[in-house]
Amino acid sequence: MAPTLADPFSDPSALTDFVISQGNGVKGLSEVGLKALPKQYIQPLEERMCMTNIIAQESIPIIDMSNWEDPQVAKSICDAASKLGFFQIVNHAVPVEMLENVKEATYSFFGLPAEEKNKYSKEHSSSNNVRFGTSFSPQAEKALEWKDYLSLFYVSEEEASALWPPVCREQVLDYMRKSEVVIKQLLQVLMKGLNVNEIDATKESLLMGSTRTNLNYYPICPNPELTVGVGRHSDVSTLTILLQDEIGGLFVRGNQGDNWIHVPPIKGSLVINVGDALQILSNGRYRSVEHRVVANGSKNRISVPIFVNPRPGDMIGPLPELVESGEKPIYKQVLYSDYVKHFFRKAHDGKKTVEFAEL
């Protein structure tokens, strides 16, 4: 039951109970008809998006992948990965219809009753690989983020069939299977850009040995200017492949100071960004860049990232080919699962996670 509207969440435990324990998430908060944002979601001033810091005339590169082996296309990909850390791709191998199916499936999952979604929460899920949650890391955060998510860590077709929510399982699996073609194309180009000309089985496993997909839901927010959908962070992945809907709200840090670039939604496109793992493996040649999502006062927004990662038991550090050619390593070898644990132990804090691997 939703609390009455007088001052429904003046007691923090009432909010935690409603949002987390009962599985209503911020979607439930949004639908209660709150006139003001609960104080637990009010971000400190320095974490809020200042609209005067947006570089209006700038955008991230849009790269046509229809002829991905063309040296000019390859150059565009490597340039974007080293300068901005972000780009969008069009005419890739994932059919637009499949992307639309995933978006619909995301709405279907978040449209389930709270008690259905709650079966997949930390307390009730039958596996750590399937997790419905809210915000980023509620235990570590001083202020909560205005977002619900379903996180699906891919182990095998059998496990996915048995444990993933039936309402979105097939659509997400199709999307992941089809996107693997694009991921391999991108990694081939990016490795060539580092003069690593062959991706053998060991290297492929290091670059893309594990994958996770999130279905993200950012409901309408009563005071969007006071909070964030996702705080400033860089991803811990090798690459992230992001499908966003037509609403917009993703911002990437520009190269100068506290300036931000909006990533405009383009139908049928996928947003690609370099993650910390690739920054470390490339010895800093490719850059993972801070990004954030603003909350929206008038529309619900969804996004579906695929995080392409090393396996938890892999050691990550500058690739041997780079060090052997005389480059001085700027990162040490770290166990990937230790790196990821370090990321999830704290609130979003920009690019600080990568310091964990610095020499």
pLDDT (tens digit, 9 = 90+) per residue, 268-302?
999 999 999 999 999 999 999 999 999 999 999 99
Contact 264, 248 (CB under 8 A): yes
pLDDT category at 348 given cuts 50, 70, 90 is low
As a whole number of angstroms, the distance between CA 284 and CA 214 comes to 27
Number of structural domains the chain divides into: 1
Is residue 278 assigned to a domain?
yes
Q: Is residue 274 helix, strand or coil?
A: strand
Task: Give the count of alpha carbons within 13 A of 187, CB side only.
Answer: 28
- CA 210 to chain CA centroid, nearest Å: 15
181-195, 207-221, 332-346: the lowest-pLDDT one: 332-346
In a domain, 87, yes or no: yes
pLDDT of residue 132: 94
Percent of the chain with pLDDT strictly greater than 90:
68
pLDDT digits (tens, 9 = 90+) for 245-257: 999 999 999 877 7
Element spanning 158, H or E? helix 157-163
**On the CB side of 213, how many CA atoms lie within 13 Å of its CA?**
23
Structural domain for 183, as ranges = 54-357
CATH code assigned at 134: 2.60.120.330
Percent of the chain with pLDDT over 70: 93
Residue 38 covered by a domain: no
In this prediction, residue 196 carries a pLDDT of 93
pLDDT at position 1: 45
**Closest to 292 in 3D by CA, of 136, 118, 92, 107:** 136
Round the average pLDDT of the chain to a whole number and report it. 90
> What average pLDDT score do residues 339-344 get?
85
pLDDT at residue 45, rounded to an integer: 80
Residue 4 pLDDT greater than 50, yes or no: no
Residue 86 lies in a domain: yes
Instruction: Judge whether 43 lies within some domain.
Output: no
Q: In this predicted structure, what is the pLDDT of residue 337?
A: 93
User: By C-alpha distance, which of 342, 283, 343 is closest to 317?
Assistant: 283
Q: Which range among 21-35, 46-60, 305-319 has the greatest average pLDDT?
A: 305-319
**CB crowding 85-103: b at 16 or more within 10 Å, else e:** bbbbbeebbbeeebbebbb
87: confidence class by pLDDT, cuts 50, 70, 90:
very high
In-domain check, residue 331:
yes
Does residue 135 fall inside a structural domain?
A: yes
Q: What is the mean pLDDT of residues 308-322?
A: 95
Three-class SS of 40-103: HHCCCHHHCCCHHHECCCCCCCEEECCCCCCHHHHHHHHHHHHHCCEEEEECCCCCHHHHHHHH
Nearest by Cα to 51 from 220, 215, 259: 259
Confidence of residue 344 (pLDDT cuts 50, 70, 90): confident
Task: Say whether pLDDT at 168 is over 70.
Answer: yes
Of the ranges 11-15, 121-125, 187-191, 228-232, the best mean pLDDT one: 187-191
Let me know if residue 147 belongs to a domain. yes
Lowest mean pLDDT among 25-39, 40-54, 166-180: 40-54
Rounded CA-CA distance 266/275 in Å is: 22
Average pLDDT, integer, range 229-250: 94
